[in-house]
Structure 1
């Protein structure tokens, strides 16, 4: 394996990859190879894709290479130029800690002939490189050229059906490079390509978007809320003034004083009150969940930098895929009766217990809004402007982002930007790591129970 890494003073053999170079020539390609051997599939980005050994004579391989080239050709020039001077590289015959290669003998012109039906007659030329592994095997590199303003959109010209739908191609489809794969373009990305075609002298928008603060993960929320409701019903079913030392047998047990002492009622009144309370279970749990997580989890925010260009009245939409967004609430506003609705309704606090932090009105014209749509969380930013090379950051006490899959180590975030007086749509995506998984019972204890109180 050692001979796969650069033999000179280059540092490309470690996990860092120098993307300031043009990936042409043996020295640069060995640097790419060393990086891929070190980290494997984790090396994949918008400008680098990795394939383990493939049958270079098969239709499936031709379709995979064509899909990569189509996605690379449909990139935004400004974004592509950040790495490898705009080039994109497909490495074939490599995996983590190993470079078995593919059998020698693949000819560039033969590969081009197999790709042309998918790419079409107007597709730009691409480079082809190779590094020998032994007398019978070599690693191949397919190198896409940098995209340019004024270029047409490059659709796929031929369909291919694969057993794995991710490798299929559709005649007429427009493919783009995502954070680590090639996929069909979204509407905003198609419009951005249209703008690339007709772009004149005005420089394109080059936006850097980051998510700051946690993408939270929490487990067993419904279970904890159900346990709290069982405890509330159990306490209500006992004597009107239960002994404060009584403990329930549910998952979570609380001192009865936490939920108040109900006034004495007749048996009929108690049955009616309990039936009414049970009928609103779904509503109560939804409201309780929002309050519980809003006061218990940390807020997130977005940081934006427009490189070299003033953006007037931007409208930036961020979609956190497979996530939900909730209002961030000050921890001092934690209210147990908003987590689990008492059977007899919430108790009115004394005036001295009023907490102003519980109310956070959003002023008119506030530049951040958030909502959950279907399976995704959406955050919309509408500041007055993004100034050139000046960091703009939203407040971190607006909302909480929670991944719906508690096992997800990261979430995909896509964004689309429009500008006042400009028909162009700029889009992009990033992948954001999630926070360690939190157990809802532990969270409840830390937020609602004083030190030393048991669950």
Structure 2
């Protein structure tokens, strides 16, 4: 005879199949406070769905110490299993079941789930209902609606072999359960994986070379003035025979341009030089941010990893991680997305001296509208957020964390950059909270830094791509 293994909750298909097989051999003898068998239910009928709700309420109203002794505290109902018979029932969608069942449980009622267990050579399947372990700090779960076998406001408990109304003494115990403080030997580990490092960049051979080369190119566009050019610049008109066209200057040549298609240079040389000077100042001011963007694409992304080492199922888990000192966070960037100065969010250089193409009549287009339309695409919110306030405050919305479960943040979200190259490690502290737990679980973390990463070569590559392209 197959043994009924109650040492672990029957999560997963293999464990569920083993439980179904063992329960079928035992039949009614297998029924206890943690397990109920139903040979069949017609889930198209409300009264049969009501029986599922009754079991869920009863299993959730057990005492935590009693429940914890088997199935890790879970209550289990098998539908489609009887003595020496595994017949199953026709599968239905979870929504069809929960729409009726949840009415009796209420929004703040017990947590539960289902799993369908296939039967060989049959279209039927066994329905397994799993009810979460009862916890200290939870008061009684009353029934929230009336039906054929349930009454609104009544409290039901699961005893050995039956689900029934609670006695006054049992109700007293459940009320005491609600007053109790939950004591858990919680055991978490919080890790920060990835390349946490400082960066350095030689400004003289990157941004200063870029500015010098770009400045030289922009100034080279100014005309070399001759006495004849000075005279014609004063008049702005050149004699071409029977027709007069405005004359526009570019580089060292006199270029006659049809005014229907081109506009003459409207800036003075003094204004043009002032634009170049102002642009250089803006680039230097923006360079620190540009280096941070390069660093965010070069360093390996940070992964926040949280492990629940206990057998407790945790709901709506949130992590707050504070990293102290000389460190800052940045959004991770794909290197291919920043391979131009514009992508580094550096100011655009002044328009090169010379004529500019006239905007054809009737073809004006508001490209800002296109940009705005592109920004209306819905983005999926990230579970990781951070703030830089002298140190880094990271928040991770983990969601549900299963017993011995692991959460890892996405690889393309966050980069941590050390702001002092002499720092060898970063110290931090963390807090974890979870729904239904009044405690705040805390711990500390130390992160070894990966030294100093030189980004000079990549910065030169990026700045060199557009170095001779007109602004």
Which TM-score band applies after superposition, normalised by the shorter structure? 0.3 to 0.5
Question: Which is higher, the Rg of structure 1 or of structure 2?
Answer: 2
The structure whose residues are more often strand, as a share, is 2
Normalised TM-score (structure 2): 0.41
Normalised TM-score (structure 1): 0.42
